[in-house]
Amino acid sequence: RSLEDALVPVLCEVKGQVFTQVAISHDRVMAFAPARVTGVSPNCGPTTGGTVISISGEGLNGGENPTIKVRFTFDLSDGMVESRTGRGSIDPVTGCVICRTPPVDLAMSCGLDVSFDNGVTFTSSGIPYDYYVEPSLTGCSPSIIPADTAGQKMAITCDGGFPYPSSSLVKVLFTSKAAEEEEVTVEAMSTEDGILICEIPPLSVADRTVVVTLNGQQYGDDGGGGGGLKKRGRG
């Protein structure tokens, strides 16, 4: 085909200050808004990576069979910038871009952008995503409660305090190998001086392991037994 028949990406000015990407041939013009990232969920995860994030925005369809890359850009303390990329895909239900986060060495923040052409061009949104060190629990109080106790507040502590205690994604999981109900999860209520507060759910008589997730997805460890609850029968 001739050169004038090819669609060539250019920029044009519309209504004075509004810019739109367009493709032009000799007999047609196709205008479209550039892709833009507006949110990510969850917006935090452990430094070990592996968090499945859902990236929302505008114009994220990528056309037919796009090769999607997600870029994580880090501003380092020495003024340098480092970026890592991971493969993404489109969620057919939500239309969001899905990706697993890469591991990092330290707790830090980064900016997220998306490419639909195998990393040749990326969005320029830089939506923030935070990495944290998974907390190791050091204790919970009370650690022993009567069998008919429910609704009592429990204080959970960890080494160095909880890095993201105010997140609505924070949940507490009570597990037991002996109890019939294997797992019970409750949402965190609040924090006081870095101590996580939750409400003890109705539980049968059994020793429990207590673990916490800060992003609603990945649970940490119990600190080698530091997070534990013993529920005793009367008498």
Domain boundaries defined on the chain: 3-32, 40-132, 137-232
Q: Yes or no: say if 214 and 164 are a contact pair by the CB < 8 Å rule.
A: yes
Which tens digit of pLDDT belongs to each residue from 90-105? 998 999 999 999 999 9
Q: Yes or no: say if 53 and 91 are a contact pair by the CB < 8 Å rule.
A: no
Residue 29 has pLDDT above 60, yes or no: no
Please state the separation of Cα 47 from the chain's center in Å: 12
CA atoms of 42 and 36, how far apart (whole Å): 18
Find the range with the poorest average confidence among 62-71, 130-139, 222-231.
222-231
Nearest residue to 185 via CA among 176, 157, 194, 177: 176
Instruction: Evaluate whether 40-132 and 137-232 have a shared fold.
Output: yes
Residue 115 has pLDDT above 70, yes or no: yes
CA atoms of 74 and 86, how far apart (whole Å): 14
% of the chain beyond a pLDDT of 70: 74
pLDDT-based confidence at residue 158 (cuts at 50, 70, 90) = confident
Q: Yes or no: say if 192 and 176 are a contact pair by the CB < 8 Å rule.
A: no
Residue 15 has a pLDDT of: 47
Residues 9-24: what's their mean pLDDT?
A: 49
Nearest residue to 48 via CA among 171, 218, 172: 218
Residue 105 has a pLDDT of: 92
CATH topology for 137-232 is: Immunoglobulin-like (2.60.40)
Q: Which residues of 108-127 are buried (b: 16+ CB within 10 A; e: fewer)?
A: bebbbbbbbeeeeebbebeb
Give me the CATH code for the 40-132 domain, please. Answer: 2.60.40.10
Residue 111 has a pLDDT of: 96
Which tens digit of pLDDT belongs to each residue from 38-80? 999 999 999 999 999 999 998 887 667 788 999 999 988 777 8
Query: What residue type is assigned to position 190 of the chain?
Result: S
Between residues 3 and 149, the one the model is more confident about: 149
Which tens digit of pLDDT belongs to each residue from 165-224? 556 788 998 887 765 556 788 888 877 777 888 888 887 777 888 889 999 999 887 655
Structure tokens given for 196: 């996580």
Q: Is 110 helix (H, G, I), strand (E, B) or coil?
A: strand
Q: Which residues of 139-171 are buried (b: 16+ CB within 10 A; e: fewer)?
A: bbeeeebeeeeeeeebebbbeeebbbbebebbb
Whether the pTM exceeds 0.85: the reply is no
Q: What is the DSSP letter of 160?
A: T
The overall average pLDDT reported for the chain is 79
Rounded to a whole number of angstroms, the CA Rg of the chain reads 24
